[in-house]
Chain A
Amino acid sequence: MEKTIAGKRIAVNEEGYLTNFSEWDETIGEDLAKEAQITLTPAHWNLIHYIQDEYKKEVPLTIRKIGKSGVVDIKGLYQLFPTAPLKTAAKIAGIPKPASCI
């Protein structure tokens, strides 16, 4: 299915995750963040770029790995994205929903 994000028609799945990462740009990230009621700060962007890099390297995302990344600690992660941090960050970053349980 498609959805209008930042004025563009973008392919998303039924949960609203982008299905084609190459369609993502920062205006789309900002629009999706607004939808999740999050105001993006430089700290948010650092994390978004980090998880995008991990996605490109095909490294599965876990809370523990983010905690050890040096980008943000786990407490900080929950402050940036208080509700469902990994999923929310992944959605804003235009990458698939994390399949991890930890």
Chain B
Amino acid sequence: MNDNGQNGHIRKMMIILSKSGLESVYAAFVLANGARMEGIEAEIFFTFFGLDAIHKKKLNHLHIATVGNPSMHMPTLIGGLPGMEALATHMMKKEMEKVDMPEVPEFIEILKASGVKLWACKLAMDMFHYEKGDMDDEIDGVLTVGDFYKKAEGTGVHMLFI
């Protein structure tokens, strides 16, 4: 089964998360966790608004985007009303609990326990004036883009931008 990336076998997933909408964060987390469940290595690079998902003060308050999200089936004006995002988020969280989907802090713990590497983007950290201490204690470090590419070396490595 494990042929070290030969014959198109996926050996490692390098996932770049650039958004903070709950739907994007969960996509990245489920894909990373799912990779580990299949014996595939996984690393996540958090950049731009994706940094919110590992920011201590923000990771508990991520929302579903109700504006500009065609799947919400609501007019932009209504989606923009106060409380709409919180309502949509609350409804989705209830459904997620039913399929045994953990909330963000617990999901980060699961990812770490499963051997997923979590990296914060240095440039985005500088831009938002974040310090390493602002980030979840579980993260593995702060990297430049070049460092991240270096970690992607080898055969059977796939990169995914969310």
Q: How far is the CA of A100 from the CA of B36 in the complex (A)?
A: 13
Does B80 touch A at the CB level, under 8 Å? Answer: no
Determine the chain A residues whose CB is within 8 A of the CB of B99 once the complex forms.
102
Interface residues of A in 21-80 (CB under 8 A from B): 60, 62-65, 67, 73-75, 78
A1 at interface, CB cutoff 8 A:
no
Check B110 against A84 for contact (C-beta < 8 Å). Answer: no
Instruction: Please tell me the size bucket of the interface on A.
Output: 10 to 19
Chain B stretch 1-32: residues in CB contact (< 8 A) with chain A: 1-2, 30
A85 beta carbon closer than 8 Å to chain B: yes
Report Cα–Cα, A60/B99, bound state, in Å. Answer: 10
Q: Main secondary structure on chain B at its contact with chain A?
A: loop
Give the interface of A toward B (CB within 8 A): 60, 62-65, 67, 73-75, 78, 82-87, 100-102
Tell me the total A-B contact number using a CB cutoff of 8 A.
44
Q: Which residues of A contact B95 (CB under 8 A)?
A: none
Interface residues of B (CB under 8 A from A): 1-2, 30, 33-34, 36-39, 99-102, 106, 110, 113-115
Q: 26 A-B pairs, CB-CB below 8 angstroms?
A: A60-B100, A63-B114, A64-B100, A64-B102, A64-B106, A64-B110, A67-B113, A75-B113, A75-B114, A78-B36, A78-B113, A82-B39, A83-B1, A83-B2, A83-B39, A84-B37, A84-B38, A84-B39, A85-B37, A86-B37, A87-B37, A87-B38, A102-B34, A102-B99, A102-B100, A102-B102
Hey, which chain A residues are within 8 Å of B106, CB to CB?
64
